[in-house]
């Protein structure tokens, strides 16, 4: 379902078809072309219009405080890369934010494991398709653990419960008359697993994404009558501006739909590695009709029969699908059509994010220009990786990766602004006050202390930004808060007063220390969705237990948490500066020397190197 960066590009092929039923390819059905608000559907025993149905389900979801978010189901043709990790980090960030607000979260991720490309990848490795899938799935699970991804559901499309659900949905759609058989012919990209229009390819019939020749194929397969739902889908996009985000992508998609949606293939006769169609075992379910249903099967507990009622109880409809912009049409056009046909509610929103690029090209396994996220996280830690991509890439736009930029950003914000500030402040508190909070942030500090208003303002900014998936703005708001803390320390110089100041000056210095520590506590709560482990370490240094950290909520990001008499922990380094050799690209000096020859003691340009263990930079008080 999802290859390369986030997966296959949209299928809008120029096919030659001959229908084996009463409906030819791409015929508009005027009898069903009614306005969306007048189309009735029965779901779970209730009959209501489609627009109304979406509103009722979404309002019911909100009433139950349930938030269901999904990532793409990643295609297991090869090991995961940073392009796979990026949307998963984003989804995990939003899921953690919703949990902080007390929501019941269903965070679903998983793997798409069927299709020709999988079979070919397995053959190249000398493995069975299932053994190949098992090995790659384990790599995904390992990476998610390394990246501190806290998912609630992990679906595999080779699971028995998924096959059962696909058969159930297929039967509903089949019985409704929305499936027919047709011959087709067109140019097929194996890597995309979809047919290409002539205008999409270059003069040599190469796929624009994978830069490989497409193959001319002719097959007889089953098609889904997406064209039957033209009016409903168009009305969905025009009446609900939030259904597809960002707005620019919604506009592009609406223009595509207004040209007339086309029926699409849901089976393959030449691909054996897939779910057989019960009505015709010679055919297997095409990956998109297979994998999209993973959003349903993944939510269902083992042993629960699929039904509108059981899906609703499990968290469907999804509040949000997070997917790459290249598969937006599948999720915002084809998927709604399938759900409408099956009589199931639609998701609340589809967000198509941008690509990660390297040297200006979309990062993808097929192109071989990927960044190994395992090497990156093992060298620098999950917090650094999560922080950088959430701060430096505007979610919804493309973002390029530079390891030097990565180090500069993370060192400045996490090593200096947070790690160093916390350690030097705690060191002074322990040296002069035994680590005890002597001025409570709730009542001891002045009501008009500038940090109170600043913390309230920045936390609200972060809250709004998280809620709208503007993760970079959320991070920047909290980074600014910490920067002001460092600036305050440098301006007030409490270490000077504590060494040789008057009693009054020492009292003022102690208030400075407590104010800075409270600011860091607030920042730790607000950054928890992005840097969960770092936030935990900050809380630990401030004297809180793991159990206390586990139950924090967004309301804890309010000023006044550190009370007078509270005991902090012995100061220790919580985040070190990132130094040493690069792990994804040569260091600037090595790259420069590569053009004139590489010395014996210097690594060759392009060779991956192990990163030195981070060193902790601590300023003297």
**Which sequence spans correspond to the domains of the chain?**
66-353, 413-567
Spatial contact of 520 and 528, defined as CB atoms under 8 Å apart: no
pLDDT at residue 20 greater than cutoff 70: no
Is the domain 413-567 a CATH 3.40.50.1820 member?
Answer: no
pTM, rounded to two decimals: 0.83
Q: pLDDT tens-digit profile of 172-191? A: 999 999 999 998 777 878 77
Q: pLDDT tens-digit profile of 350-389? A: 999 998 876 566 666 556 667 889 999 999 999 999 999 9
In this predicted structure, what is the pLDDT of residue 360? 61
CA-based R_g, the chain, Å? 27
The beta-strand segments (E) located in 527-603 are none
Q: Which residue has the higher pLDDT, 155 or 194?
A: 155
pLDDT at residue 39 greater than cutoff 50: no
- d(Cα 528, Cα 214) in Å, to the nearest integer? 46
Instruction: Look up the CATH number of domain 66-353.
Output: 3.40.50.620
pLDDT at residue 24 greater than cutoff 90: no
Q: pLDDT tens-digit profile of 200-254? A: 888 878 887 777 898 887 778 999 999 999 999 999 999 999 999 999 999 999 9
DSSP labels, 62-122: HHTTEEEEEEEEEETTS---HHHHHHHHHHHHHHHHHHHTT-EEEEEEEEE--SHHHHHHH
In this predicted structure, what is the pLDDT of residue 207? 87
In this predicted structure, what is the pLDDT of residue 365? 56
Q: Which residues contact 252 (CB under 8 A, 6 or more apart)?
A: none
Q: Which residue has the higher pLDDT, 487 or 605?
A: 487
Q: Which residue has the higher pLDDT, 598 or 484?
A: 484
In this predicted structure, what is the pLDDT of residue 553? 98
In this predicted structure, what is the pLDDT of residue 363? 63
Q: Which residue has the higher pLDDT, 317 or 192?
A: 317
With tokens 């978010």, the residue in question is 69
In this predicted structure, what is the pLDDT of residue 367? 60
Spatial contact of 149 and 386, defined as CB atoms under 8 Å apart: no
pLDDT at residue 270 greater than cutoff 90: no
- d(Cα 2, Cα 70) in Å, to the nearest integer? 13
């Amino acid at each position: 379902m999802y290859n390369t960066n986030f997966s296959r590009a949209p299928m809008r092929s120029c096919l030659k078809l001959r229908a084996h039923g009463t409906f030819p390819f791409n015929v508009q059905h005027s009898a069903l072309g009614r306005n969306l608000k007048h189309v009735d559907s029965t779901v779970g025993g209730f009959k209501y219009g489609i627009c109304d149905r979406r509103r009722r389900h979404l309002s019911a979801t909100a009433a139950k405080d349930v938030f269901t978010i999904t990532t793409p189901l990643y295609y297991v043709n090869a090991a995961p890369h940073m392009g796979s990790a990026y949307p998963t980090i984003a989804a995990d960030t939003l899921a953690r934010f919703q949990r902080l607000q007390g929501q019941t979260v269903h965070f679903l991720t998983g793997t798409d494991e069927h299709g020709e490309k999988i079979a070919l990848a397995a053959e190249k490795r000398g493995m069975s398709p299932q053994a190949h899938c098992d090995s790659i799935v384990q790599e995904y699970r390992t990476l998610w653990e390394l990246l501190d991804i806290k998912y609630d559901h992990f679906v595999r499309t080779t699971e028995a419960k998924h096959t059962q659900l696909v058969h159930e949905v297929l039967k509903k759609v089949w019985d409704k008359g929305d499936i027919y058989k047709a011959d087709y012919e067109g140019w097929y990209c194996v890597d995309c697993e979809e047919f290409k229009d002539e205008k999409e390819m270059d003069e040599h019939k190469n796929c624009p994404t994978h830069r490989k020749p497409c193959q001319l194929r002719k097959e007889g397969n089953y098609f889904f009558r997406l064209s039957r739902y033209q009016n409903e889908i168009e009305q969905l996009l025009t009446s609900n501006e939030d259904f597809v985000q960002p707005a620019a992508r919604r506009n592009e998609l609406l223009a595509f739909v207004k040209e007339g949606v086309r029926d699409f293939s849901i089976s393959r006769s030449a691909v054996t590695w897939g779910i057989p169609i019960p009505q015709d075992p010679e055919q297997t379910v095409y990956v998109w009709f297979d994998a999209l249903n993973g959003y349903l099967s993944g939510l269902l507990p083992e042993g629960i029969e699929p039904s509108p009622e059981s899906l609703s109880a499990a968290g469907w409809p999804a509040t949000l699908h997070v997917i790459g912009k290249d598969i937006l049409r599948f999720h915002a056009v084809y998927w709604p059509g399938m759900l409408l046909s099956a009589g199931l509610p639609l998701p609340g929103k589809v967000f198509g994010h941008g690509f990660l690029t390297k040297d200006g090209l979309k990062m993808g396994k097929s192109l071989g220009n990927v960044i190994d996220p395992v090497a990156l996280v093992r060298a620098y830690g999950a917090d650094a990786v999560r922080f950088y991509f959430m701060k430096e890439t505007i979610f919804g736009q493309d973002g390029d990766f530079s390891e030097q930029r990565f180090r500069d950003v993370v060192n400045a914000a996490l090593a200096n602004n947070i790690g160093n500030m916390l350690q030097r402040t705690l060191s002074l508190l322990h040296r002069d006050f035994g680590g005890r909070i002597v001025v409570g942030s709730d009542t001891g500090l002045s009501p008009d202390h500038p940090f109170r208003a600043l913390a309230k303002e920045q936390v609200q900014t972060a809250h709004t930004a998280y809620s709208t998936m503007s993760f970079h703005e959320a991070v920047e708001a909290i980074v600014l808060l910490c920067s002001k803390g460092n600036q305050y320390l440098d301006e007030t110089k409490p270490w000077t007063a504590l060494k040789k100041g008057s009693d009054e000056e020492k009292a003022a210095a102690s208030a400075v220390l407590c104010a800075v520590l409270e600011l860091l506590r607030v920042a730790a709560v607000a950054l928890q969705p992005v840097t969960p482990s770092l936030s935990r370490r900050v809380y630990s240094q401030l004297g809180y237990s793991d159990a206390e950290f586990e139950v924090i909520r967004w309301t804890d990001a309010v000023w006044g948490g550190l009370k007078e008499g509270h005991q902090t922990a012995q100061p220790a380094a919580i985040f070190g500066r990132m130094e040493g050799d690069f792990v994804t690209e040569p260091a600037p000096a090595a790259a420069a020397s590569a053009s004139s020859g590489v010395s014996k003691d210097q690594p060759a340009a392009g060779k991956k190197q192990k990163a030195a263990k981070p060193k902790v930079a601590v300023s003297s008080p």
